[in-house]
């Protein structure tokens, strides 16, 4: 900790942490107080989280309690320093600090497969090298009510470097067949945007969004990579039973505490090491904008996404002695914001975009899909096959499993035909539909600088690698300047 900004009635209002401070790690049941504002230094600058329910006494709060049998709590994988997600840098530091004995490395999903030697770093290589947790999905898929969904495709294991998909206890041939895929944890913050319903209809399947039977409210479909849980309650239950190995049920009060806590958080980068304050000279970066705005608004010509940074398009004349690096960085961010909505390219063979009437290909900018104001999520909601997991577009990943999915005679993938090779079938593991193979729900673009690596399978180690992937995948032919501007934009979100 490097400073406490203010004190009121004994409670810290704002607490700032250094990039290398030992107290960056929030352990379960540590009894710390979660203040109104937390600031964490990172390579790009400072990340800030606002807590509208502050101060939260974490002692006894279910989000911070090891409710299951493996010592983990929600906070284990949703760390404030990492935008309520978990960076691979933090994971490695935790391994070094604890000799791999932290509950973070629980064998259930913190290892490549539970049957490997727990003490060996190699057993946890996907977590240590790519920040990936094992997600075991039942096969065939189950509906929310537990009934079996008849899939439109058969699944075969082509490559199994972790050994888990062919394992007699944990694999597809076990008594309870499971498909193991490996994914990054999603940020448990800015939750009102994750659950926001933009339009009542989902353009990707033409149907109105389903309602939560308990609350009667429509569900956004934007919560999880494969949309297996559509409400915060369902997500919490899924996480408690799998990641925390809770046997039985949490109490209603515990579920309420978890949902209330994560719903009170707003997180964004607030300062840049070159650009300074992200809310200076008319810009509106930082988490306060997220806290104060309505969620679910669609961007458009009159109100383009990332307009928060467009005031930096017209910086006042340079003053004598002005920091020119800061000025150049701010101008670059503003150009990146404009590119995001104006730089057109051809999007092709991307199910969830190009098979629903827009045409294949379709000319559009980044903001076509990343269209929800202030987060860059898809209001639609955003299950799309970008090619991050489906071949031939996925990056080579010998360390990940490869599956061969063969659609039955009545179905096929709209762009790949009846046979699709994929590292992660994504949404199709929830729906059993061929059209959904490799679709991964877009996630919020906030706090990116604090939570590398990126994409659901951690295949982009840096923000620049995200841009490089898009440039290659969609033949964008971005200039070096454009790549830098877009990278800078993403670093301040």
Q: List contacts with another protein (CB under 8 A).
A: 196-201, 203, 205-211, 218, 294, 296, 344, 346, 348, 354-365, 368, 412, 414-415, 417
Q: What is the 3-state secondary structure (H, E, C) of 114-137?
A: CCCCCCCHHHHHHHHHHCCEEEEE
Q: To the nearest whole angstrom, how small is the minimum distance from the Cβ of residue 260 to another protein?
A: 21
The pairing of strands 37-42 and 45-51 is antiparallel
As a whole number of angstroms, the distance between CA 236 and CA 253 comes to 13
Nearer to another protein, 160 or 338 (CB): 338
Nearer to another protein, 173 or 211 (CB): 211
Q: To the nearest whole angstrom, how small is the minimum distance from the Cβ of residue 52 to another protein?
A: 20
- 């928060």: which residue's tokens? 308
- Max CA-CA distance within the chain? 73
Q: To the nearest whole angstrom, how small is the minimum distance from the Cβ of residue 234 to another protein?
A: 18
Nearer to another protein, 68 or 376 (CB): 376
Q: To the nearest whole angstrom, how small is the minimum distance from the Cβ of residue 320 to another protein?
A: 42
Nearer to another protein, 296 or 453 (CB): 296
Q: To the nearest whole angstrom, how small is the minimum distance from the Cβ of residue 332 to another protein?
A: 24
As a whole number of angstroms, the distance between CA 116 and CA 137 comes to 19
Q: How many CB atoms lie within 10 A of CB 186?
A: 22
Task: Name every residue whose Cβ is closer than 8 Å to that of residue 291 and which is 6 or more positions away in sequence.
Answer: 50, 52, 266
CA-nearest of 347, 352, 384, 295 to 476 is: 347
As a whole number of angstroms, the distance between CA 87 and CA 460 comes to 12
Q: To the nearest whole angstrom, how small is the minimum distance from the Cβ of residue 363 to another protein?
A: 5
**What SS3 state is found at 329?**
helix
Q: To the nearest whole angstrom, how small is the minimum distance from the Cβ of residue 360 to another protein?
A: 4
Is the preceding omega at residue 392 within 30 degrees of 0, hence cis? yes
Q: To the nearest whole angstrom, how small is the minimum distance from the Cβ of residue 218 to another protein?
A: 6
The pairing of strands 11-17 and 37-42 is parallel
Q: To the nearest whole angstrom, how small is the minimum distance from the Cβ of residue 82 to another protein?
A: 30
Nearer to another protein, 197 or 246 (CB): 197
CA-nearest of 95, 99, 115, 96 to 107 is: 115
CA-nearest of 152, 148, 156 to 173 is: 156
The pairing of strands 178-183 and 133-138 is antiparallel
Nearer to another protein, 167 or 349 (CB): 349
Cα 373 to chain centroid distance, Å, stands at: 17
Nearer to another protein, 73 or 428 (CB): 428
CA-nearest of 480, 81, 488 to 306 is: 488
User: What kind and span of H or E run contains 384?
Assistant: strand 383-384
Structure token digits, residue 210: 């389903």
Q: To the nearest whole angstrom, how small is the minimum distance from the Cβ of residue 68 to another protein?
A: 34
Q: How many CB atoms lie within 10 A of CB 27?
A: 18
Structure token digits, residue 477: 């032919």
Nearer to another protein, 172 or 290 (CB): 290
Nearer to another protein, 61 or 379 (CB): 379
Q: To the nearest whole angstrom, how small is the minimum distance from the Cβ of residue 359 to another protein?
A: 3
Nearer to another protein, 268 or 351 (CB): 351
Nearer to another protein, 413 or 446 (CB): 413
Task: Name every residue whose Cβ is closer than 8 Å to that of residue 62 and which is 6 or more positions away in sequence.
Answer: 74, 250, 253, 254, 255, 257, 258, 261
Q: Which residues pair with 4 in a beta bridge?
A: 15
């Amino acid at each position: 900790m490097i400073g406490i900004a203010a004190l009121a009635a004994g409670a810290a209002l704002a607490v700032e942490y250094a990039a290398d401070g030992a107290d960056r790690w929030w352990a379960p049941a540590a009894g710390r107080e979660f203040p109104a504002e937390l600031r964490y230094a990172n390579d790009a600058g400072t990340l800030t989280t606002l807590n509208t329910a502050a101060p939260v006494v974490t002692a006894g709060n279910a989000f911070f309690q090891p409710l299951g049998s493996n010592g983990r709590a929600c906070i284990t994988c949703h760390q404030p320093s990492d935008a309520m997600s978990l960076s691979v840098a933090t994971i490695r530091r935790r391994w070094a600090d604890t000799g791999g004995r932290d509950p973070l490395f629980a064998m259930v999903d913190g290892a490549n497969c539970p049957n490997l030697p727990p003490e060996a770093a190699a057993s946890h290589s996907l977590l240590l090298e790519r920040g990936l947790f094992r997600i075991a999905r039942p096969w065939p898929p189950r509906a929310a009510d537990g009934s079996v969904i008849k899939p439109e495709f058969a699944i075969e294991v082509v490559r199994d470097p972790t050994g888990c998909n062919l394992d007699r206890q944990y694999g597809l041939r076990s008594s309870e067949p499971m498909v193991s895929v490996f994914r990054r944890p999603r940020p448990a913050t800015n939750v009102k945007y994750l659950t926001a319903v933009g339009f009542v209809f989902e353009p990707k399947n033409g149907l109105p969004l389903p309602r939560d039977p308990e609350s009667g409210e429509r569900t956004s479909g934007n919560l999880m990579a494969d949309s297996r849980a559509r409400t915060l309650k369902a997500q919490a239950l899924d996480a408690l039973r799998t990641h925390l190995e809770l046997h039985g049920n949490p109490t209603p009060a515990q579920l309420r505490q978890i949902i209330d806590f994560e719903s009170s958080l707003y997180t964004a980068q607030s300062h840049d090491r070159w650009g300074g304050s992200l809310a200076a000279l008319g810009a509106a970066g930082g988490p306060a904008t997220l806290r104060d705005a309505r969620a679910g608004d669609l961007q458009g010509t009159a109100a383009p996404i990332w307009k928060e940074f467009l005031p930096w398009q017209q910086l006042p004349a340079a003053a004598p002695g002005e920091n020119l690096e800061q000025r150049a960085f701010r101008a670059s961010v503003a150009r990146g914001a404009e590119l995001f909505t104006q730089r057109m390219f051809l999007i092709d063979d991307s199910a969830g975009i190009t098979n629903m009437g827009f045409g294949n290909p379709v000319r559009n900018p980044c903001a076509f899909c990343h269209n929800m104001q202030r987060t860059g999520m898809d209001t639609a909601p955003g299950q799309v096959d970008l090619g991050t997991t489906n071949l031939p577009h996925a990056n080579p990943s010998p360390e990940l499993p490869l599956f061969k999915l063969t659609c039955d005679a009545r179905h096929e993938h709209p762009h790949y035909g009846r046979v699709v090779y994929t590292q992660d079938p994504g949404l199709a593991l929830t729906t059993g539909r061929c059209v959904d193979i490799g679709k991964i729900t877009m996630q919020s673009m906030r706090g990116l600088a604090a939570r590398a690596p990126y994409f659901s399978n951690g295949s982009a180690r840096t923000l620049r690698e995200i841009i490089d992937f898009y440039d290659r995948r969609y033949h964008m032919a971005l200039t070096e300047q454009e790549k830098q501007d877009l990278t800078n934009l993403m670093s301040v979100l």
